[in-house]
Copies of this chain bind each other. A is one copy, B any other.
Amino acid sequence: METPLYQRLIAPAQTKIVMIIMDGLGGLPREAGGQTELESATKPNLDALAFQSSLGLTIPVAPGITPGSGPGHLALFGYDPIHYEIGRGALEALGVDFEMSPYDVAARGNFCTVDTAGLITDRRAGRISTAESSRLVELLQTIKVEGVEYFVRLVKEHRFAFIMRGSGLGEDLTDTDPQATGVPALPIKSRDSSSRKAAQFTNRFVSEAGKLLADKTPANSILLRGFAKLPTLPSFAEIYGLHAAAIAVNGMYRGVAKMAGMEILDVGGDTIADELSTLEKHWQEFDFFYLHIKKTDTAGESGNFDGKVKAIEEVDSYIPRVMKLNPEVVIIGGDHSSPAVMKFHSWHPVPTLLYSKNVRPDGIREFGERACLHGGLGIFPAVNLMPLVLANAGRISKYGA
C-alpha cells in the first residue's frame, strides 16, 4: 500500500494527544422524534468542550458497513481497515477478549465427535452446552509442550479459540477441519517453510487433545481452522513518530493497540476512574494516549438505553481531569455505533469531537449526533481522523512551496 501523503510529511513536536474512544458511541432515538443516547445525556463538560472544538461524524469502514471493534479501531488509528484485514482465527481470539501478541497464531476451534475408526460423525459435537464446553476447555488448557505456550478460550457451545505463542511461528497452516463428516480430521500442514514449526506444535496439541477427550463423548475430539496472526502494522512510532500508550481494560482493545505498537499500560483495575488515574500517572511518559471506554458498547449491545446514557455521563464527569493535563489535542469519538434500540453494532456514522487550540470552532454548544452533522469536520472516513489529529498537534509539515 502506498504511503499516504501525510505520513511522508510527519514532523516532530512536543505536543500531547489524548484519544478517548467510547466503544459503540453512536446511537439512535428510542422513539420516533426522540433523542439518541448521547443527545439524552447530561454532559456539561463535553458540551462545553464541543464549543471549543470542531465536530463531525466518522464513517468507520465504509458506507453501510457495520464494523467489529477491530476494524473500527484500525481506522481510528489511521490504518485502512479493508487493507489490514484481521484473519478468522485472530478474530475469534480477539472476540473473546484474548490479548493477542505478535508471537501468537490463533485458530477457531470446534469440539467434534469421531467414531472408533477416527472418522468425524458430527463436526459440532451435537452443539454441546456452553457449560459442558467450559469444562473441556479447562482440560485442554492443561496441555503443556516444551517450546510453546497454548491458550484455549471458551467462545460458546462447541466453539473455542485456540492460540499458540512462541518465537518463529508462522500462520500459513492448513485447517484440520475437512468441512465434512465420514472422513478423518486432516493433519495440519505448513504452506511455507516459516510455518513448519507452527504446524508441528499444532499437530502435537491436536494429538494431546485427542487423548484427553477420548472418553468425553460426544465431544471426543477437536477441529481447528482459520489460522491467523494479527496483521503486521507499521507502528505509531514508525509512521507518526508518536510514543504511544494504550489505556484499556479489555484484551481485545489491548491487542489491537499492541498491533499498532502502543505500550499497554497497567490500569490496575477495571473502572473508568482507574483508567483516568493511569492517564495522569503516565502523563509525562508518552505523546499519545488511547483511552478506551467499554461500558457504552456493553450497554448498547444489551439494549440498555439508560445504561449507555449513564456511561456517557460518567465519562463526562472525568473531562475536567483530562483537560487539566493541558493536552494539545483531544479526540472524543467511537469505533462504531451500537444503538441500544438495535442491540448490536451498526453502520451509522459516529459523533466525533476534535479539540485543539488550532481547530476552527463550529460554535456548536452540544456534542450529539445531530449537532455533529453541522460541524466543520463533516461526515468523513474514520481513517482520515489521524491526519487531522496530527495536523492539530503540529506534527505534519507543509507540502510543497
Contact = CB atoms under 8 A, between A and B. Distances in A.
A267 interface: no
A79 interface: no
A64 B400 contact: no
A349 interface: yes
Interface in A320-353: 342, 344-349
A126 to B, nearest CB: 26
Interface stretch (A170-178, A197-205, A355-363): A355-363
A401 interface: yes
Interface string A1-28: 0001110010000000000000000101
A399 B382 CA distance: 15
Residue in A82, A391, A400 with the greatest tally of chain B CB atoms within 10 Å: A400
Interface stretch (A111-119, A207-215, A368-376): A368-376
B387 A6 contact: no
A42 interface: no
Given A5-B61, A379-B378, A398-B345, A361 B33 contact: yes
A94 B66 CA distance: 37
Contacts of A230: none
A283 interface: no
A388 interface: yes
A237 to B, nearest CB: 19
A359 B163 CA distance: 39
Given A28-B360, A360-B348, A6 B396 contact: no
B347 A396 contact: yes
A102 interface: no
Contacts of A389: 64
B62 A6 contact: yes
Interface stretch (A68-76, A128-136, A184-192, A271-279): A68-76
Contacts of A68: 398-401
A330 to B, nearest CB: 16
Given A373-B374, A374-B373, A376-B373, A67 B360 contact: no
A346 B370 contact: no
Interface string A23-46: 000101100110010000000000
A2 to B, nearest CB: 10
A81 B400 contact: yes
A387 B65 contact: yes
A95 interface: yes
A29 B105 CA distance: 52
Of A65, A345, A384, A396, most B-chain CB atoms within 10 Å: A65
Nearest to A35: B363
A94 to B, nearest CB: 6
Contact of A69 (B86, B92, B401): B401
A390 interface: yes
Given A5-B65, A68-B398, A380-B63, A363 B374 contact: no
B6 A64 contact: yes
Of all A-B residue pairs in the complex, the 8 with the closest CB atoms, nearest first, are: A64-B387, A68-B400, A64-B391, A95-B401, A68-B401, A378-B379, A71-B400, A91-B401
